Structure 1
Amino acid sequence: MLEQIVEFPDSPSGSRGATAAVVTDQWTWSGAVGTDSRGTPLSADTSMAVSSITKTFIAAEVLLLASKGSPNLELPLSRYVPHRLTANFATVRQYLAMTAAVPDYQPDAFARLDRAAAAAPEKHWTLAQSLAFAEGPLGVPGQAYIYSNPGYVLLGMLIEKLTGLPLAAALRRDLADPAGLRHAAFQDGEKPQPPAAVDDDPACGAPDGYLPCRAVASLAAAPGGLAADAPTVARWGYQLYGGRVVPADLVSQMTDGDGEYGLGTMLFTRQFGLGEAYGHRGDMPDHTSLLVVVPAKHVSIALILADGGRSIDRRMADLTTALEPLLG
């Protein structure tokens, strides 16, 4: 199936390269085809930027902290993180659910982010500094789902405040290490481990060991800074949504809802043909990623394409169709 992805790399659902992994109760599988943007052949353990799959870690960490006493999910986030983007008194839970009415970065803001990164690709940006690019008026919380990267930056700031640790250190201590994720890197607090893809992001210049470079990685840290290989992403989904790394009652909160988003979790209903499914998509200029977990089948699937902006759902559907006879 993976070979079909690179057969027509310029098609909407094609790519120059792809990696994938499956984790079940009884067996695991991983594979790779094609190359990264510099022509280096991919292997199953090649790290790539998996962008917004990071949000599953942020939500799990906030819920884990809440289960230990703080934060209170029903209190305004402004109680913990005073900021102009928390001034509408949306609750912590609403930020997790993306119903806090905080607008996403606008196209001109992304252009300014690129210019700032290009001016100093090696620069480390703090979470608070990255919010300088967030624009638009706050709305009334609780009325509508609005996908918001700045909202997850604020949740990252919440984690740092409550743990007293840099975001990467908190996620490593509480989630990645307990889940056995040795090949995950929370950028830019951590650097991707080799083998790692090399990006051709025009904002970044020469490779510096981050994906795509330190400035972009740190600007995206909380909502999308994770770099990992497909087996690591699949293992994370299996551990998280199987209740193996955070308690099952917290997982049920992440996957609750009748819309398209729970708490840091995309709700795929029966979109991929195997049953109720959860996970997250990610998209960066050189990588498109998708994590799909079907608890009823005890299966977690990760797919990463070595191109950005691709129609990855179609390729995931091909993969789940091929897997169905093997899952019982």
Structure 2
Amino acid sequence: MRTTLTVTTAAALALPLTVGALPAGADEPPAPQAPAALDEDRASVSRAVADAVAEAERQAQARTFSAPSDAPAARGEVQDALDRALADTAAGVPVGVVGRVDAPGLHWSGADGTRRLDGRGPAHPQDRFRAASNTKMMVSTLVLQEVEQGTWTLDTPVVDVVPEAAAVVPDAYEDDVTLELLLTHRSGLPDHLTALAASRMADTEDYDEFFDVLGEEYTTADHLAAMDDQPWLFEPGTDASYSNAGYVLLGLALEHATGQSVERLLEKRVFAPAGMRHSAYPDDPGYRGPFLREAAYTGGLGAGWYPLDGFDPSLFGSAGAVTSTTADLQRFTEALVTGDLLAPETVTDVLTPRTVGSQTLPDYGLGVYRLPDPCEEGAWLYGHDGASFGTLSITLTSPDAERQVTVALTGRDLTTLESDLNTALVPALLATC
């Protein structure tokens, strides 16, 4: 039976594919417009993570037992709490969940639930998952490596590096849309992923068709055409709005400058030096190795569960195609903040936020954002989250990488904009205090 997606449920599901009403006097329907509900979903993930940090801070202030580094009994108590948190997460909608916490006196990893929607295969701590927008930290690292080598500067206009971008960037802004503005989501370039998927659909209200087109291949030309269909949001540098499109252009900039694919660049200049042995940048559907397979839950609004085994990562590209593990993500953030991938002064620049006080973004630097450290007043944790249609994840680190937290789940509940991640994330943050 065909299932449909109404305007109301589109916003709730972060799948805003319904074409707007036909303007008076228009002969043709407008191109599908996407950014509002995707921004709503982006803001929801950010709010949920911020809420987790605030709750961890409240619990840390009220806690009376010793820190894990001080007493074996306390360490065991914390590990038990972390195990229970994963079990509680998997007892809800999520299918599988993995977590990792590293802090002085505590090194814990765990898993609960199953790898597959059909219940086959228990989840394991080392399982891979789709890291989604955590990819942005890695692509930013590649961009900053090129800056260090003198290939370009952060002030270089993207049209100077990616000639195809001239068809996307308004003429008036060609000198203003710089690599830095793309890295920090302040260019005004709207997100394009919903329009990209909608361009393949005959009926943008059909759930089943939507999940079908997620399995199709999307070329660079497809991405650029979807970007060109979207109205520019604001004058460059005057506001902030999360844009996957900006990171697709940054990936093109890297390929033009180096003559190598983003996949190869990540393998040589990020994965290998950081010791990320179980990470990849796939461009085809399918899974490599033990994997938490993606699934989306739509409740009664769609056909219930949708397995996403056929999802094609070309839809995300350099904005979110990386697959990884909790251990590998922590190897990356440690290598980043401690200067193994970039010079110390560049790391400082990466971690310096440009969007303090934004209503839709956390304090966002160059592909990395910061959150208040719930354990130490005035201190910060740095990292990113990843939200694909079937997976949620987040990885955070202290500036010295002595305290790190990573949590990921598959079986994402799309019936609500709230995050299931916090059931596991709050205890994980608290465990580092």
User: Which range, TM-score by smaller chain?
Assistant: 0.7 to 0.9
| Mapping for residues 59-74 of structure 1, pairs under 5 Å | 59-74=140-155
Counterparts of 1:164 and 1:214 in 2: how far apart (Å)?
A: 27
Identical-pair percentage = 24
- Max Rg structure: 2
Give the 3-state SS of the residue equivalent to 2:327 in structure 1. helix
- 2:168 equivalent among 85, 99, 111: 85
Partner of residue 99, structure 1: 186
Is 1:183–1:232's contact at 8 Å kept on the other side of the alignment?
A: yes
Q: Does 1:132 align with 2:225?
A: yes
Counterparts of 1:189 and 1:298 in 2: how far apart (Å)?
A: 36
What's the offset of the Cα at 1:67?
0.6
What's the offset of the Cα at 1:69?
1.0
RMSD: 2.9
Partner of residue 218, structure 1: 314
Is 1:38–1:198's contact at 8 Å kept on the other side of the alignment?
A: no
Partner of residue 52, structure 1: 133
Is 1:20–1:304's contact at 8 Å kept on the other side of the alignment?
A: yes
Counterparts of 2:231 and 2:213 in 1: how far apart (Å)?
A: 28
- 2:256 equivalent among 153, 161, 184: 161
Counterparts of 1:111 and 1:20 in 2: how far apart (Å)?
A: 34
What's the offset of the Cα at 1:30?
1.8
What's the offset of the Cα at 1:104?
1.3
Q: Does 1:280 align with 2:280?
A: no
Q: Does 1:249 align with 2:345?
A: yes
Q: Deviations over 1:144-196 (max 9, x none)?
A: 11100001100010111111011100111111111111100112179753111
Is 2:384–2:396's contact at 8 Å kept on the other side of the alignment?
A: yes
The letter for the 2-side match of 1:131 is L
Deviates more, 1:252-261 or 1:17-26: 17-26
- 2:370 equivalent among 249, 257, 267: 267
Partner of residue 315, structure 1: 424
Partner of residue 180, structure 1: 275
What's the offset of the Cα at 1:314?
5.5
What's the offset of the Cα at 1:3?
2.8
Counterparts of 2:254 and 2:285 in 1: how far apart (Å)?
A: 17
- 1:193 equivalent among 285, 288, 293: 288
What's the offset of the Cα at 1:77?
0.8
Aligned CA distance change for structure 1 residues 22 and 238 (closer, same or farther; 3 Å): farther
What's the offset of the Cα at 1:96?
0.7
What's the offset of the Cα at 1:306?
1.6
Is 2:95–2:114's contact at 8 Å kept on the other side of the alignment?
A: yes
What's the offset of the Cα at 1:112?
4.3
The letter for the 1-side match of 2:230 is G
* 5+ long unaligned stretches in structure 2: 1-81, 202-208, 298-305, 357-362, 414-418
Aligned CA distance change for structure 1 residues 189 and 238 (closer, same or farther; 3 Å): farther
Counterparts of 2:404 and 2:89 in 1: how far apart (Å)?
A: 27
Is 1:50–1:289's contact at 8 Å kept on the other side of the alignment?
A: yes
Deviates more, 1:92-101 or 1:29-38: 29-38
Q: Does 1:142 align with 2:237?
A: yes
